[in-house]
Structure 1
Amino acid sequence: MKKLVLSFALMMAVFATYAQATREIEDINEDNSWLKLGLNMGVPVGDIGDFSSFALGLDVAAQFMRTDNFGLGVASGYTNYFGKENLPDFGAIPLGLMLRYYPEPSGFFVGTDVGYTFLTGDIASDGGFYIRPQLGYHNYDWNIFAFYNQVFTSEPWADIQAIGVAATYNIRFK
């Protein structure tokens, strides 16, 4: 997993390096910055799949297009993991850095969120580092993507892994 994280981070750095025109944070406007709101749903995999059968959540992010192709921002939200049979539900609240590469103004994109996830409910950990690589399709208003999410907890058997799909709507800053 460490090799995957390192490879993905290196790929994002290369994309950012080849960018031509960069924008400064003072240049935020409705053409290069927006709020993303959406829903996600996933299936827990790995050991956590023994305790939860389904995950449903809300995504919220603020994105700034540093170049025409590279976006960065902050990501958060809430995902509820529904417990199997008589097991309790638990929740995940991520707080992370969002990185996206858009080769074209409309079409496919790659990205990742990295940061810390706070866990709520009856679970063996309070949280841990997370990574959420994504591959999807975007246009002016929407992003639809598949993702893999992993939260690395202090108890390796309690790591939370899920695969899923999500859709977010872009609300433009005015």
Structure 2
Amino acid sequence: MKTKFKLVAFAIAMLFAGNVNAQDTTTENYDQGFRLGFGINAGYVFDDPYDFALGADARLQYDLSKRTSLTLTTGFTNLFIGDDVKDLGFIPVKAGFKGFIWEDQFYLLGEVGAGFAVTNDYDQTTLILAPGIGYANKYIDLSLRYEYYGDFPKANGGEGVGQLALRLAYGFRL
């Protein structure tokens, strides 16, 4: 867990460093502002007993510049188990940094936060680490990310569940 956290922290730091040097100097008067997006998520969960994940989210984004943004994401995600076992649903709350790396449309995103379990008589809160890549234009945001839930249980009695999720969102400037 500590090694994965260090790798994610290093990746986020490199993202910051890369964007500091790659700033477009022609955007001095860029109109900073907020964007709001609503998305749906579908994911493949790597660990048993979970079969797949579905969720919905809302993301508030503050554009620092034309190429860098801060994000705050929340919503609801359900990890489906199947059979007669209750699913695990939780509310993620994540803060992140988005850096556009190519043509002001392709980006890298790093998020960290917490997941608050709300179903299945399970009350554990988990750390969430979520690096991702994506494409965004004026209204559509399509991304692929890996999410790691450090404290959710596995079938073998261990902890730490990962998923690969696809997000499709509609966003607009506030």
Show structure 2 runs of 5+ residues with no match: none
1-side partners of 2:118 and 2:28: how far apart? 39
1:141 to 128, 133, 139: 139
Q: How does 1:30-45 map onto structure 2 within 5 Å?
A: 32-45=33-46
Question: One-letter code of the match for 1:44?
Answer: V
2-side partners of 1:155 and 1:81: how far apart? 11
Between 1:123-132 and 1:158-167, the stretch displaced more is: 123-132
Question: One-letter code of the match for 2:10?
Answer: S
Measure how far apart 1:4 and its partner are: 1.9
2-side partners of 1:38 and 1:12: how far apart? 24
Indicate if the aligned counterparts of 1:111 and 1:134 stay in contact, CA closer than 8 A.
yes
User: Does residue 17 of structure 1 match 2:20?
Assistant: yes
Q: Which residue of 1 aligns with 2:161?
A: 160
1:111 to 109, 112, 118: 109
1:4 to 4, 7, 11: 7
User: Does residue 90 of structure 1 match 2:88?
Assistant: yes
Q: What secondary structure sits across from 1:52 in the alignment?
A: coil
Show structure 1 runs of 5+ residues with no match: none
Q: What secondary structure sits across from 1:7 in the alignment?
A: helix
Indicate if the aligned counterparts of 2:109 and 2:131 stay in contact, CA closer than 8 A.
yes
Aligned-CA RMSD value? 2.5
Q: Which residue of 2 aligns with 1:172?
A: 173
**Residues 109-128 of structure 1 deviation map (CA, whole Å, 9 limit, x = unaligned):** 11021111111222765112
Q: What secondary structure sits across from 2:15 in the alignment?
A: helix
Measure how far apart 1:16 and its partner are: 4.6
Indicate if the aligned counterparts of 1:77 and 1:94 stay in contact, CA closer than 8 A.
yes
**Residues 86-144 of structure 1 deviation map (CA, whole Å, 9 limit, x = unaligned):** 21111121112121011345432110211111112227651121111111111111111
1-side partners of 2:77 and 2:15: how far apart? 26
Question: One-letter code of the match for 1:128?
Answer: T
Between 1:90-99 and 1:61-70, the stretch displaced more is: 90-99
Measure how far apart 1:57 and its partner are: 0.3
User: Does residue 131 of structure 1 match 2:123?
Assistant: no
Write out the 4+ residue segments of structure 1 that deviate beyond 4 Å after TM superposition: 20-23
Q: What secondary structure sits across from 1:103 in the alignment?
A: strand
2-side partners of 1:16 and 1:76: how far apart? 25
2-side partners of 1:68 and 1:119: how far apart? 36
Q: Which residue of 1 aligns with 2:99?
A: 101
Question: One-letter code of the match for 2:16?
Answer: A
1-side partners of 2:152 and 2:75: how far apart? 22
Provide TM-score, normalisation by structure 2: 0.83
- Call closer, same or farther: CA 1:105–1:62 in 2, change over 3 Å: farther
